[in-house]
Amino acid sequence: MTRGVPCGFPCAVPCAVLIALCTLAVATRTAAQVIDSAPTHPAVVRSIALDARLATDFGLRLGDTVRVSAAPGDTGAEPVVVSALLARRADPSEIARSEYRARVHLDQLQRLIGYGDRVDRFAIRTAGDSARGTLLDAVNTAAFGFRAWPSAEIAVRTSRTFQVVRRFHRAIGVITIVASAAFLLCILLLKIDERRRDVAALRMMGISAGTIVRSVVLEAGIIALLGSLAGVVFGVVVARIVNWHFQGVHRTTLAFTLVTPETIAFACVLSVVLGVVAGWLAARRLVGVPALTLLGR
């Protein structure tokens, strides 16, 4: 059953951001209350896998016994032994959530929360693609109130949040590139304009316009390449700082920013192209002016 979209609240927004997870989150409806860490009821004690952050924050260790109940202060709390610690996945949709996660045995959770013989979802492994297709059709036409999806489609649907973030970042990138391109063109124009007298002298000596344009373009390309390499180094350093900061804040191993070979190649190529184009435009402008005019006569 698809979890409903929240309304009325603050959670509307974070859930909007993290909605993908709603359908994948482990149903965590119990509030784990730590009463003691002494083992009790050896015959009936089940095990629990606790969020590692919860264990760290409350000083719990493997082997400790805690009590779980459906609601705070419930008398029906059951003892469970911490048998595993869960490391939070490096999943962007999870890291912003501060609540702890735990895993208990299905039948125990059903009993604790009075859920009866119900689940929120289940996964099915089928024997091959054709069987999958047949099963999907059968479930979706016969059932009322829930749907079946292939896991791949779940991945697509739940990645919609990240696709939105990706588009957002791309849009910011486009705006930044436009500003940078204007900046680069302007600076190169300025620098080349500064050498108008040199260019005039070269023209008067007989150096062709083509030679001058080529040398300016080469210079602009080299400057752009060196600048982009410096930018790559800067970007790598900043990426490391960003990852270090956010990994510490969110207690995760998720890499928040990645500088990949493709990113580097794109940045360098774009910079060089912009630089070459800017240099060519500026040089063409300058060689198009008569030498004497460049000298101010």
For residue 128, the minimal CB distance to another protein (Å) is 25
Q: Which DSSP string do the residues of 173-217 spell out, in sequence order? A: HHHHHHHHHHHHHHHHHHHHHHTHHHHHHHHHHT--HHHHHHHHH
The two structure tokens encoding residue 119: 């689940």
Q: Which amino acid is at 78?
A: E
Nearer to another protein, 98 or 130 (CB): 98
Would you tell me which residues interact with another protein (CB under 8 A)? 1-20, 28-29, 31, 71-73, 96-98, 141-146, 160-161, 164, 167-168, 171-172, 175-176, 178-180, 182-183, 185-187, 189-191, 193-194, 197, 285
Let me know: does 294 contact 200? Beta carbons within 8 Å.
Answer: yes
Residue with tokens 């015959």: 43
For residue 107, the minimal CB distance to another protein (Å) is 18
Nearer to another protein, 84 or 233 (CB): 233
Nearer to another protein, 129 or 144 (CB): 144
Burial of 245 per CB tally in 10 Å (0-12, 13-18, 19+):
exposed
Nearer to another protein, 41 or 245 (CB): 245
For residue 143, the minimal CB distance to another protein (Å) is 7
For residue 151, the minimal CB distance to another protein (Å) is 18
For residue 41, the minimal CB distance to another protein (Å) is 26
Cα–Cα distance between 91 and 16 in angstroms, integer? 16
